[in-house]
């Protein structure tokens, strides 16, 4: 068995007892302007990542952005462009509380008010403005 040499390529290494994290680039802003978020009632789950489609979904004050994950990482390493500028789609549906992906990454659920909206993740790649969505009131959801 040969020894594998680990080489630092990007970011700062923060050591800990049994693992370490490598920071990639610098933080990037969500919006180009300084939008204020309600810190009294923050979004419960403001980010969802789809490995299958290589997309990142980020909640903002009036909906959510859909961005290619690679574009976010490239921006963090270089230009520092705001997420808003990089987004494929800005879905304005109101204040999102939770963003969650199905286990197969094909469906995104967004909780807004008393409703859950479902979107076909594939449609975001095709830049479809009006994505397929279904509304369910919380009271209509049956968990088995």
Asked if residue 12 belongs to a domain, the reply is no
Task: Report the predicted TM-score, pTM, of the whole model to 2 decimal places.
Answer: 0.74
Q: Determine, yes or no, domain membership for 19.
A: no
- Who contacts 29 (Cβ-Cβ below 8 Å, separation ≥6)? 80, 82, 83
- Count how many domains the chain has: 1
Tell me whether residue 23 is in a domain: no
Q: Kindly state whether residue 113 falls inside one of the protein's structural domains.
A: yes
50-95 per-position pLDDT tens digit: 999 999 999 998 999 999 999 999 999 988 889 999 999 999 999 9
Q: Is 63 exposed, middle or buried (0-12, 13-18, 19+ CB in 10 A)?
A: middle
61 vs 38: CA distance, rounded Å: 8
25 domain residue, yes or no: no
In a domain, 92, yes or no: yes
Q: What is the pLDDT of residues 96-115, one digit of tens each?
A: 999 999 999 999 999 998 89
Residue 58 structural domain: 41-140
Alpha-carbon distance 49 to 64, whole Å?
Answer: 13
């Amino acid at each position: 068995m040969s020894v594998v040499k680990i080489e630092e390529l990007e970011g700062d290494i923060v050591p800990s007892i049994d693992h370490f994290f490598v920071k990639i680039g610098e933080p990037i802003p969500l919006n180009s302007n300084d939008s204020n978020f309600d810190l009294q009632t923050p979004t419960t789950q403001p980010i969802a990542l789809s490995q299958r489609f290589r997309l990142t979904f980020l909640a903002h004050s009036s909906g959510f952005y859909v961005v290619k994950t690679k574009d976010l990482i490239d921006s963090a390493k270089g230009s520092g462009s705001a997420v808003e500028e990089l987004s494929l789609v800005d879905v304005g549906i109101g204040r999102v509380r939770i963003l969650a992906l199905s286990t197969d990454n094909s469906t995104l659920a967004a909780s807004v008010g008393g409703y859950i909206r479902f979107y076909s993740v594939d449609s975001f790649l095709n830049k479809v403005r009006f994505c397929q969505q279904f509304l369910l009131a919380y009271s209509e959801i049956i968990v088995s």
